[in-house]
Amino acid sequence: MSAGGDLTVRLELPQDWPASGLGEVATVSRQIPPATTLPRGTRVVVLAGGAARKRFFARLLGKGPRASRAVRGSALLARGYTRLGAGAADEDDAVWGYA
């Protein structure tokens, strides 16, 4: 968890993830902890891009697979999060919800 009680999720997406970003919600939701397992009010931020360790190579080779806001938001809803939002975050696109 980062400062302020936030938890950031960097997705691991398969290389055959659709270019539209509209892949299976289940693939994303499995990577997000259920809201009931976190303290109430914890904000969970789900980033569109892959894991940080891959960013160097993504810059060299172009962006890797990215999940759309709709898929990430649906995954948060499926895991029990409320008060969803979306916006830019540290050179990436973020969707968040609260436990």
Q: How far is CA 79 from CA 35, 36, 70, in A?
A: 6, 8, 14
pTM: predicted TM-score of the whole model, two decimal places: 0.83
Count the domains in the chain. Answer: 1
- Other CB atoms closer than 10 Å to residue 97's CB: what's the count? 24
Residues in contact with 67: Cβ distance below 8 Å, sequence separation at least 6, in sequence order = 11, 13, 17, 21, 23, 28, 46, 48
Top-confidence residue, 67 or 3: 67
Mind listing the pLDDT tens digit for each residue in 16-40? 999 999 999 999 999 999 999 999 9
Among all chains, which residue has been given the structure tokens 């997406």?
13
Confidence of residue 79 (pLDDT cuts 50, 70, 90): very high
pLDDT, tens digit, 9 for 90 and up, residues 41-54: 999 999 997 654 45
- Residues 99 and 97: their CA atoms lie apart, in Å, by 7
Q: Which domain holds residue 27?
A: 3-98
